[in-house]
Chain A
Amino acid sequence: MALLQISEPGQSTAPHQHRRAIGIDLGTTHSLVATVRNSIPTVLPDEHGRLLLPSVVRYSRNGVVAVGVEAAARQAEDPRNTLASFKRFMGRGLADITRTHQGDLSYEFVDAAGMVQIRTAAGVKSPVEASAEVLRVLRQRAEASLGGDLTGAVITVPAYFDDAQRQATKDAAQLAGLKVLRLLNEPTAAAIAYGLDNAAEGVYAVYDLGGGTFDISILRLTKGVFEVLATGGDSALGGDDFDRRIACWAMEAAQLPPLGPGDLRALQVEAREVKEALSSRDRAPFHVRLQNGNTVDLTLDTGTLESLGANLVAKTLKPCRQALRDAGVDITEIQGVVLVGGSTRMPMVRAAVAEFFGQAPLTNLDPDQVVALGAARQAHLLAGNRSADDWLLLDVIPLSLGIETMGGLVEKIIPRNATLPIARAQEFTTFKDGQTAMRIHVLQGERERVDDCRSLAHFELRGIPPLTAGAARIKVTFEVDADGLLAVTAREQSSGVSAQVAVKPSYGLSDDDIARMLRDSFDHARDDLDARALAEAQVDAERLLDAVGAALEADGQALLSAAERATIQAHMAELAAARAGTDRSAIRQATDALSTATDAFAARRMDASIHSALAGRSIESI
């Protein structure tokens, strides 16, 4: 729509100049969406005024997908089809999950290439698809609230997420129809929200214990710059682990026989409620009615909870020490400790953090909302809503990247906590005489051995000229963008023959996968999509009508003949009529027709405005 791009100097520009961008905190337990309105970040509620959307998705046989409170309420009744805490499965294989989640018997896992999937009544679903359902609901909430299409979204991820987990999150956003402006680390988002609100300067620690992940980030805040010095964490440690321990305690205390998935889920749901209750009380009843009609009636006190969770809390302190060391910061330099994530409401966590850092943590912000609010701020900025007090964000990569060398060892190319974006190259050579191909295995992690690191991708570089062993020079370049996502290229340099391969991590979805999933979701949500497409067409039509109307009023007499004006007005009338109806393609056609009919007008206006700008300058300069 060329007409939208023209505005008179000093006049208000085209309508909808403010770009609608959102920040989404896609959490293990619940998710939120926030935006910046009148320069104030706000979390957007649903139609019942609720801010938190439980990250729970229920698939039914008839294809209906329930998300949020409704799905969460049916967990115990329908555990196999009601997916919760699936963030912990993002970018993970079956082997990873059985290692870290022995207790998760309520799902029927399907081992798939790359990422684990779950069999439900509506077919096999991946954690990416489930995440996309949550994101879709939040997108719709934001569109309804903001009244129109979104420019894009910033989606937060745990700082300690590796490349596979980040790629999976980005894929989920794409599947949900969101344009990702940036994957932002959760503690960094919290630091933005805290730092901007409090004009904070100095070195801060952000301690983020969520439902399923733990992050610690050390940042230096100086005027207008948020610089992450180091980050660390555990992407499989969170409030869920406390719940599981409480559920185990209940099974032992009540001497329960082995339970089915529904009862297990009911115990975990109750465990979470009891844990939350104990943040403000000394003891709380633990009550569950089992499917066989028996009831479990227990009381949990804070002392027992503390002994159940003590080593989980202790597990968070090792990454804290490591992050401080990597940041080159002494603990006494920490100006403040920001708490993020619902699990930091537990008094035992607060006490441990206070003791470790030697100061009471900052609790003047809502640990559930701060990440979404920071993400909204960053989204607002990245969408191009510039202001005088823009800030700059410098984040780091959480885990080292390298490639496999002889003997199953990993040669690191990019060290953890390097500032992003980063490009680093290393040369390798051939092992045998006449070798013409080289297999490149990309890994992420801190350990020395390939088996202890996460395998991200395999690819082969072919066409290496046959030379004696050690003569070829293969340059492998790693590039990590500001989202923390990796691209690898390899090039043979010794002979001028060069081959180059770009890889996408093997845990990421191929474009075909995404296309298939999009098709599936179209089938399930045909009505929803049609409604959305219609709304989009109507909004576009209205914008064009507004813009042409304004242009005619300003320059119609001066730049158009009577016949030209009449043609344009006829197209406007047609579009206005189409817009009032529900035929999407009719609206699109009329929009295109009006747009084409005004091309010449737009060009003349552009010429006229440039001339008048030049004329203005020459007068001034005289």
Chain B
Amino acid sequence: MSETATPSLSAAGPGSDPFALFGLPRGMDVDPHALDAAYRQLQSQVHPDRFADRPEADRRVAMQWAATANEAYRVLKKPLPRARYLIESAGVELGEQDNTAMPAEFLMQQMEWREQVAEARAHRDDKGMRHIEHQIRGAEGALWPQLEQRIATADWKAAADLWRRLRFLQKLRDDIEDARSALID
């Protein structure tokens, strides 16, 4: 039986910067394969299962590391939380709950889509919902390069504004998906 080395973990715990944790360059451009590989590599060293036969104190430390790795992976895996992390760690509040100051034009479009979704839902119109979903994707596609550019140039106020709009669109798309699932079930 070959004994694989068991890592010893710093009791101080991991830092909170997910880019640093996975050794990835800070920014919106994250290579998904490099992220997956780094995440699995880290988990295979720190996961509590690796310490199952070790004292309680070791397992406790392992659990904190593994939980941090999971959270960091969640933050970096999808662009919206990734952007949110970058903006917030620059000290800008996104005020997700209460900050709804957005261009009137954008809000009008939102209301229009919401009405269309409600109507399509009432008529069990799957095709109609797919059509709205397609339009929303188009709008998101136009906003993403702008957000990436604002983040790259550290224009955080503008980035936060774009982020809130993308978050709105994502929520709307989630609602459409819920409605579409409800049609099938």
Residues of A within 8 A of B (CB): 17, 19, 181-182, 222, 224-225, 227, 318, 321-322, 325, 381-388, 390, 392-394, 418-424, 479, 481-482
Contacts and interface: CB of A to CB of B under 8 A. Distances in A.
A182 B52 contact: yes
Contacts of A182: 49, 52
Contacts of A17: 1
A384 B52 contact: yes
Contact of B49 (A227, A392, A479): A392
Interface string B1-23: 11110000000000000000000
B44 A321 contact: no
A418 B184 CA distance: 25
Contact of A222 (B40, B52, B71, B177): B40
B52 A422 contact: no
Contacts of B3: 386
Given A422-B71, A481-B63, A392 B184 contact: no
Interface in B48-71: 48-50, 52-53, 63-64, 66-67, 70-71
B152 to A, nearest CB: 26
A225 B70 contact: no
B70 A392 contact: no
Interface residues of B, number: 25
Minimum-distance CB pairs A-B, first 4: A384-B53, A382-B52, A423-B67, A419-B70
A575 B63 CA distance: 43
A94 to B, nearest CB: 29
Given A325-B177, A422-B67, 13 more contacts: A19-B53, A225-B43, A321-B181, A321-B184, A322-B181, A381-B49, A383-B52, A383-B53, A387-B2, A388-B4, A392-B44, A392-B47, A482-B49
B185 interface: yes
7 contacts: A322-B181, A325-B181, A381-B49, A381-B52, A419-B74, A421-B66, A421-B70
A421 B177 contact: no
Nearest to A378: B49
A422 B72 CA distance: 11
Nearest to B48: A482
Contacts of B2: 386-388
Point out which of B52, B177, B184 has the most chain A C-beta atoms below 10 A from its C-beta. B52
B73 interface: yes
Contacts of B43: 225, 392, 394
B8 to A, nearest CB: 16
A390 B63 CA distance: 19
A423 B64 CA distance: 8
Nearest to B47: A392
Contacts of B73: 419
B51 to A, nearest CB: 10
A386 B5 CA distance: 10
B75 to A, nearest CB: 12
A386 B3 CA distance: 6
A50 B116 CA distance: 62
Nearest to A423: B67
Contact of A418 (B4, B70, B181, B185): B70
A64 B70 CA distance: 49
A479 B181 CA distance: 31
Contacts of A479: 63, 67
A181 B52 contact: yes
Contact of A225 (B40, B48, B67, B74): B40
A388 B4 CA distance: 7
Contacts of B74: 418-419
Nearest to A328: B78
B104 to A, nearest CB: 31
Contact of B63 (A224, A318, A382, A421): A421
Nearest to A480: B67
Contacts of A381: 49, 52
B185 A422 contact: no
Contact of A482 (B63, B71, B177, B185): B63
Nearest to A222: B40
A577 to B, nearest CB: 35
Nearest to A424: B71
A227 B43 CA distance: 11
B13 to A, nearest CB: 11
Interface string B150-185: 000000000000000000000000000100010011
A422 B3 CA distance: 29
Nearest to A392: B44
A208 to B, nearest CB: 20
Nearest to B6: A386
Given A382-B52, A384-B52, A421-B63, A321 B185 contact: yes
Nearest to B65: A421
Contacts of B49: 182, 381-382, 392-393, 482
Contacts of B44: 224-225, 392
A422 B66 CA distance: 8
Point out which of A19, A224, A388, A421 has the most chain B C-beta atoms below 10 A from its C-beta. A421
Nearest to A420: B70
B52 A421 contact: no
B53 A387 contact: no
A609 to B, nearest CB: 17
Contacts of A387: 1-2, 4
Contacts of A321: 181, 184-185
A325 B177 CA distance: 9
B67 A392 contact: no
Point out which of B1, B4, B181, B184 has the most chain A C-beta atoms below 10 A from its C-beta. B1
A386 B4 contact: yes
Contacts of A322: 181
A419 B39 CA distance: 12
A424 B71 CA distance: 9
A327 to B, nearest CB: 13
Contacts of B184: 321
Nearest to A224: B44
Contacts of B40: 222, 225, 227, 392
B48 A421 contact: yes
Contacts of A422: 67, 70-71
Contacts of A225: 40, 43-44
Point out which of A224, A385, A423 has the most chain B C-beta atoms below 10 A from its C-beta. A423
B70 A481 contact: no
Nearest to A319: B185
A483 to B, nearest CB: 10
Contacts of A325: 177, 181
A387 B64 CA distance: 25
B2 to A, nearest CB: 6
Contacts of A388: 2, 4
Contacts of A222: 40
A385 B66 CA distance: 21
Contacts of B47: 392-394, 482
Contacts of B181: 321-322, 325
Contacts of A418: 70, 74
A14 to B, nearest CB: 13
A325 B179 CA distance: 13
